[in-house]
């Protein structure tokens, strides 16, 4: 940045990164298949995904990597839970399918930290930033990736025992990663004029 003129030095502008961010598109998890990234490739994605704003360096989040055997266990557990709790068939199928069909899944776990310095909402926003960052990191690495929630994330009666969560922890979502089988069409984006307000004085 040239402080005198308020302009960016062209040498510091990352055209490739900007092009990626301007065209990024999550992949529907149901369209992802094996192979998924191996542990070495996934380590890079996870490391990038955790580079997010984090007021106070609290790290109010953690990640659980769910590989195929774990996903099969969770699919079975989701089916049993859905039947026992009379979850509607369509919703039940979505919950089970999220695990049954996934090549690889990262559960994003919110871990609220007790502190008077950082409001709970700021910790929650940092958790959300991890989700976006993980999806973008996987896409940038050449994989398909998408973020899902649903009752298997939001129902503590299922998610707590299934993922062995500690008291106070909760699931922010599941990021599914794999090989994409199709590139989805572009979807409508926010109207810039409606979403952005310029304040000059």
Cα(96)–Cα(30) distance, rounded to whole angstroms? 12
Per-residue pLDDT of the chain (201 residues; tens, 9 = 90+): 555 566 777 788 999 999 999 999 999 999 999 999 999 999 999 999 999 999 999 999 999 999 999 999 999 999 999 999 999 999 999 999 999 999 999 999 999 999 999 999 999 999 999 999 999 999 999 999 999 999 999 999 999 999 999 999 999 999 999 999 988 888 899 999 999 999 999
25 is in an annotated binding site: yes
Task: Note whether residue 78 is domain-resident.
Answer: yes
Domain assignment present for residue 44? The answer is yes
Q: Is 51 annotated as a binding residue?
A: yes
- What is the maximum span of the chain, computed from C-alpha positions, in angstroms? 67
- Residue 180 dihedral angles phi and psi, to the nearest 5°: -75, 140
Q: Is residue 137 included in any domain, yes or no?
A: yes
147 assigned ligand-binding residue = yes
Domain with 100 in it: what CATH number? Answer: 3.40.109.10
**Residue 149 known to bind ligand:** yes
Is 98 domain-assigned? yes
Q: Which long-range contacts (CB under 8 A, 24 or more apart) does 52-59 make?
A: 52/126, 52/129, 52/130, 52/133, 53/125, 53/126, 53/129, 54/126, 55/118, 55/122, 55/123, 55/126, 56/115, 56/117, 56/118, 58/113, 58/115, 58/118, 58/123, 58/126, 59/111, 59/113
> What pTM was computed for the model?
0.93
Q: What is the pLDDT of residue 143?
A: 98
Interval 98-141: pLDDT, tens:
999 999 999 999 999 999 999 999 999 999 999 999 999 999 99
In a domain, 19, yes or no: no
The residue segments making up the domain with residue 119 are: 25-183
Give a yes or no: residue 36 inside a domain: yes
Flag whether 24 is marked binding.
Answer: yes
Number of domains present in the structure of the chain: 1
- 55 marked ligand binding residue: yes
* Residue 176 among known ligand-binding residues: no
Question: Would you say residue 197 lies in a domain?
Answer: no
pLDDT at 183: 86
Residue 126 labelled as part of a binding site: no
Give a yes or no: residue 191 inside a domain. no
pLDDT of 1: 54
């Amino acid at each position: 940045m040239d402080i005198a003129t308020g302009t960016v030095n062209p040498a510091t502008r990352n055209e490739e990164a900007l092009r990626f961010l301007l065209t990024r598109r999550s992949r529907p998890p149901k369209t992802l298949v094996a192979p998924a990234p191996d542990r070495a490739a996934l380590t890079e994605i996870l490391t990038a995904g955790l580079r997010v704003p984090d007021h106070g360096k609290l790290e109010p989040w953690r990640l659980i990597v769910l590989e195929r055997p774990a996903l099969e266990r969770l699919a079975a557990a989701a089916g049993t839970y859905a039947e026992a709790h009379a979850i509607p068939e369509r919703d039940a199928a979505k919950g089970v399918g999220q695990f049954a069909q996934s090549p690889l899944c990262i559960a994003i776990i919110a871990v609220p930290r007790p502190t008077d310095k950082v409001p709970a909402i700021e910790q929650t926003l940092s958790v959300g930033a991890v989700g976006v960052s993980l999806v973008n990191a996987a896409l940038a690495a050449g994989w398909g990736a998408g973020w899902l929630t649903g009752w298997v994330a939001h129902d503590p009666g299922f998610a707590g025992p299934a993922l062995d969560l500690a008291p106070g922890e909760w699931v922010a979502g599941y990021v599914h990663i794999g090989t994409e089988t199709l590139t989805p069409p572009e979807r409508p984006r926010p109207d810039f004029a409606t979403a952005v307000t310029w304040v000059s004085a």
